[in-house]
Structure formats: structure tokens, C-alpha cells
Structure 1
């Protein structure tokens, strides 16, 4: 894969995208669940649908509107939306409407076309978040039959490792789910997948929004311990708390879209103030689709609050050092279009920054990711570009693939 020119003498290496998405093929659960669950486990049905997204709330009406592929699971009917496979449509046709599998970009849900689209988009390797289970598998945590829910989590992880990633020649990087409703089961699932090479797991950025304990409670410590023990990165996508920021019930979707970083901001402050990084000194967490331009202020603010409010702030006994000092050893962030963040990499920490393309969603920079990066990175040095586009992701995920410099050396031979 050829490099792309940024500034004078600067090249964009083949990208490792740490935040893309997969739309699960219809067979994922039907082919893996016991036969007694086939009729209530996740399955695809096509039916008419009308969809609305206002005030940060996604809603729909079944039985009227355009044909739409739904996931049916227990009593849940969840429609697929055109923005989930946005790269298949011109920007001016990206309405919030239903979509069928036949209308989707094939690479959204099939391995071979995905690899072809990655080649087109200058992407060497990709970490993909789920779609139907939602970004941390919370659909299964909300189920009625928890035995079935556990089987669904395990079936997804088996499919992710064996099919989606197993058939990609190492270019698709496994990202697994946990049973969020039971921390001991969650720890066991981390270890089960780590034994077959998985080094990334989904988690909610704000668990209380899902009715789960906060990270301040200590409840999640067995899960964090398993992640630390296995060098598994805790990956938190914006919206993995099933609650997006908006300003009012009638605010248009663009308001929430402009504020999507807020969930990542709240979550990072939680982690920095919780003492989790003190108790687990090797734990790594990663924030997806939250961009990074907001970080310099927040890292400064948490230190001011920690110092000035030590008497009543409730963290002095749990966090012995200024909270920002834990950031660079524990946290990764990613971006796809963030001039402000790239202008402040010294304050953010070069070693914490990774790249995403968000394929195939509506924010995706595919197929122009390398051109966009080149337009925003002209002021950086080649080692900085290499770290952000490729090398930091290799280190974050423990990937056994060449660094950017190694690729250039290979090409020169």
C-alpha cells in the first residue's frame, strides 16, 4: 500500500483505524445458538419502518414507511438505519431512514468487500465495534433470558474471532463483548478471549446510564483486573452508555452530533478521579469517536479541581498524584477530523493519539482518509505522523505487524 504525501517530505503510512464498525451478517446468531433459541435469538426480518432522531433520542414506528431490515431479539425489534452504512450513499441522501442488507455497502457486513474497501481507503488494519448489540453489547444486558444473553455474547465473540477476523489475514482486529450484567462472567470472558489472542474489549463509557454500577463503586475491579492481567484494552465508544448528549427534547440531530465528545469527556474525568489507575497501574483504556481537541483543557481542569478542592472533593485519598499524570500511561484517544487536536499534540501527548476512519458510518472519512490526514498533518514531523497513523495503534493493541518505518525499509529493499 503506497504512502500519501502530507507536508514536504512527509508521508501518510498505511493507516491502522482503531474505530470502525461492522454490521453483523444475518447468520451470526442463527448459526451458533442452540436450536431451542433460534426463534427468539437475534434474527433478521424485513418490515416497513419510519424513523426519527430528535433531541438525542432515536425512535421508530414499525408497519409503515420504507422496507427495512430489522433485528428481532426476544420482544425487541431494532431497525437498521441508512447512516449505519452511510458510505453507500451520497451525503445529500443520508437521511435517517431504514435500510435493507441489499442496499448496504457490501463491505459493511462482508469480509472480502471490506478488505477491498480498506485498500481503497489506505487502511491496513481495522478494529470494528458492533452494531446490533450496540457499542458495548448493552442489548444483551437488557434481555429477559440471561442464559440466552450469555450465549449471544459468546456467539458474537466466536464469530468475531473465527469469521470476521479469522478470514481477514490479520487485517481485521478482534474486539469482543462482555456480559455486562455479571462482573465475574465479564472477567471470565476477557480471559477466554485473551487465550486466543484478543487484546480489546468493549465497555460502557458511563455504566450508570445503563443501570449498572459506576467505576467509583469498585464493582468493576475484577473486570479491570482481568484486562490488566491479559493486556486487554478497555475500549469505550461514544454512545456506549445508550445516552447521547443533547440540549433539549426538540434539538435537531446536528446539535447532538456536535457534542458527541461529551460522553468521552465525562468518562475520562470519571477514570482520572476514581483511583482505578492507581489500583491497576498497567490498565489501558481507549476512547473512540470522541475526537481529542477538548483534552488540554480537561487535563488542566482536573488538576486544578484536585488541588483546590482537596478538602471536600472526595478524591484526595484515592488519587495521590495530580489526575492528569495518570493520563499518558493509561489512556488512548482517536480522531478522524480534528485540526485543533493536531495543533495541540504536545499538550495531549503524542503517544496517546490514534487514528480512525469510522467506516461505514455517516462521519466516516472513507475513501478520503489519507487525503484528509495529509491536509491536517503538514506541520508534523514524519515520526509524529507515523505514531498517530499507525505505530501507536500497534503498541496499544500489541499487534505483530510492521511499524511505519519498517514498512518503508521493506519497500526500499
Structure 2
């Protein structure tokens, strides 16, 4: 390998600018919509998977969103780039203290250049990973307007002048399947090919994927080529063995929800009914996948008669994983060692900018350390090729055309 291909990161994050809703929310909804505020913060603790937060005018200045009864502060651990590791704490933070690339698209592109990244897909922060903030709101008319305003900002402002380097990732109104389908269509018509969704909807009080409720959503995503992206924590519940365990336990177990969600999908029949639907698990890593697939296939062989899936899932579950599911990683040497079982066509890369886990600004070095010894074609797939194929990106078309031409030539002469 002469040079590491520039990375297409399938999981980064954006800190919303203070003007977002003032600019993009229609005027008639602004009184009831989110409002930015800079105010002191008091208690900020993470206990049992939930934040305890208070305002304190005498506390450190922090940037907040105020929306209905919600007071949402930005925290240093979610805008961590630029700080030393031991400074990535649960303190409040203002945008002025953040690295500008957290919320400014021009500065983000510059940081991507520093970090060997060509393109980036960014999850929301204030709306939470799949729009739970708006799903929990009382006034659903305003909430729907907020979802649409966020998506308009994402497509037209955050991504609009990036030349395709910032990839739009949109929300749906989780509380209404008809509105969700309409929002997928609205965004697909302007080229959006990624939507964020909950890894485990019942944790949010929503129907499960087994109920059939979400089938119209899956159908429109399949029809439009929209990838369903599920970030760890998009169920608002992180795994832990004990309610009083330190947050490091949940951070270490965060892949568990992705594993549970993937197993749910493999046995749901969703991937059978929608064979072109694509699912992507974000920040879940991949070292766990080989055993999860082995266990799912074993369970299907041994238990399908009484287990309720004999007619629902006609082939071994791993069949549907390799056909339709993508994982992603950034620090996972065990996954790399098991790459044939993970799937060389199923793994993608991420940088997690600007979170505490981010590899910025050392992503190139981290990636090179993982892929040493792999062949060039596999490195290309992991760093960008699989992400380009997954998201239907307009990148590397010349390379793909040349590769297909060479393969056709080889077939003719073989």
C-alpha cells in the first residue's frame, strides 16, 4: 500500500449552531420551538444511564437549548476535540470554547483535511441520535416543524456548500408512520440517502420492528435507497449491569445494544420482506459480530421450529447480514483479525468527531495501524469503498469504471 485512501467516515457528529431554529423554523412556530441560551450550569452528573442537570447563574457559562420543559446543555465530552484526554469531562461548554469545526461547516471541512477524511456523515446532538427530543415533545405540530427545520438546515446549510463532502443524515417524526414516510420521500427527492433511526424502538415507547408498524418506513427506505442508520444510544438507554456502575461500564458495553438490535432484525423477517433495505450500525464496532452471527445461525438451525422463525426466516440469519447490514469501527483490532467473518464488504470506518472517542487528529495513524498487512483492495473497501457503495455517493466513479472495465477484459481472456 503506497498511500492510505482518504477516509469516508460514516459516523461523526455536529453541534447545532445557535441560529438553527431562528433561521429554519417557520415564524409561526418559533415561540414554541427550541431557543438558544447561555447560562451557568450547576450539577451535571451521569447516573444509571441518565443525566442529572441543573442551571446555576453562578456556575460555569454553558450553551443550552430550552424547549418546552427541556433544558439541554452542551457538554465537553461531546465537543471534546482540542482538549487533552483528562480534560474531556462532563463540564458544560459554550460554542466559543469548542473547536470551531464542531458547529461550523467550513471549519469542519478544514479539520477533515487535517484528519485525512474526504467525506463525513454527521449525527445530531440536541435532537439526540434519532430525534428523540422531538418525539418526546408535547406539541407535535411544532415538533414536526422542528424535524423538518433540522433536515432543511442539514441539507441546505450544513452540507449544502461542501461539494458532497458533508453527507446529509436526516430525522423522521418517530411518532407518526405516515409523516415519517412523507419525510423520507421529501428528503429523497433532494438527494438524501441516509436517515437515523432507533436501534431498539420499544425503549422509546414505540412499536417494535416485529409488529409490522414500521413496514411502510422500511418500504420507502428500500424504494428510495435510503440507508437506516442506528447509532449506539439511539434507544436512550445504554447497557449496564448495575444502576450505580460508573459511566465507563456503559461506555465499554455500548456495543450490546447494536448486537441486540441486529439480532432482532435478523430474526424479524424485515430483511426477508425488504431484500434491498440497507441497515448501518454506527459506533458499535465489529469484533462481536462473528460470534453473534454464529450464534444466530446455530439458533436458527436448532430452534427454529419452536422459536417462531421457521417460516419467517427461510435462510440462515447470517445470509441477510452479509447481504444488507453494515458495521463500522475505529478502534477494533479484534474485528480486523476476524475480518473474513465480519465481511470485507460489510465493514466501514468512522472518526467520531468531535466526541471523546474521536481519533482526531490522529485518524490516519490509527487507521494505518489497523490495516497493516491487508491487501490494497480490502483497505480501499474499509476506508471508503464500502461507505461509498452503502450511501450511493458520487465518489470514485472513474476508479470503479476502470475496475469494471478491467474485470470485463479479464473475463473475456479467461
**TM score, norm. by length of structure 2:** 0.94
Q: Show the counterpart of 2:267.
A: 273
CA separation in 1, counterparts of 2:402 and 2:50?
A: 47
- Confirm or deny: 8 A CA contact 2:353 2:359 kept in the other structure: yes
Q: Show the counterpart of 1:3.
A: none
Identify the match of residue 141 of structure 1 among 106, 111, 135.
Answer: 135
Once the two structures are superposed, the pairs formed by residues 293-308 of structure 1 within 5 Å of their partners are 293-308=287-302
Q: Show the counterpart of 2:226.
A: 232
The CA deviation at 1:168 is 1.1
- Confirm or deny: 8 A CA contact 1:390 1:404 kept in the other structure: no
Q: 1:369 to 1:405 in 2, by over 3 A?
A: farther
Once the two structures are superposed, the pairs formed by residues 206-355 of structure 1 within 5 Å of their partners are 206-355=200-349
Q: Show the counterpart of 1:402.
A: 396
The CA deviation at 1:11 is 2.8
CA separation in 2, counterparts of 1:213 and 1:30?
A: 33
The CA deviation at 1:82 is 0.4
Q: Show the counterpart of 1:4.
A: none
Q: 1:102 to 1:353 in 2, by over 3 A?
A: same
Provide runs of 4+ in structure 1 moved above 6 Å: 406-409
Q: Secondary structure at the match of 1:168?
A: coil
* Deviation digits for residues 97-124 of structure 1 (CA, Å, limit 9, x no counterpart): 1111111110000011000000000000
The CA deviation at 1:403 is 6.2
How many corresponding residue pairs?
A: 401
Once the two structures are superposed, the pairs formed by residues 61-100 of structure 1 within 5 Å of their partners are 61-63=54-56, 65-100=59-94
Q: Secondary structure at the match of 2:210?
A: helix
The CA deviation at 1:65 is 3.0
Identify the match of residue 12 of structure 1 among 4, 10, 16.
Answer: 4
* Deviation digits for residues 221-247 of structure 1 (CA, Å, limit 9, x no counterpart): 000000000000000000001111112
Q: Show the counterpart of 2:179.
A: 185
Once the two structures are superposed, the pairs formed by residues 167-182 of structure 1 within 5 Å of their partners are 167-182=161-176
- Confirm or deny: 8 A CA contact 2:326 2:348 kept in the other structure: yes
Q: Show the counterpart of 2:112.
A: 118
* Deviation digits for residues 173-231 of structure 1 (CA, Å, limit 9, x no counterpart): 00000000011111111011000000000000000000000000000000000000000
Q: Show the counterpart of 1:39.
A: 31
- Confirm or deny: 8 A CA contact 1:283 1:330 kept in the other structure: yes
Identify the match of residue 56 of structure 1 among 49, 59, 65.
Answer: 49
CA separation in 1, counterparts of 2:44 and 2:169?
A: 29
- Structure 1: runs of 5 or more not aligned: 1-8
Q: Secondary structure at the match of 2:286?
A: coil
Q: 1:330 to 1:408 in 2, by over 3 A?
A: closer
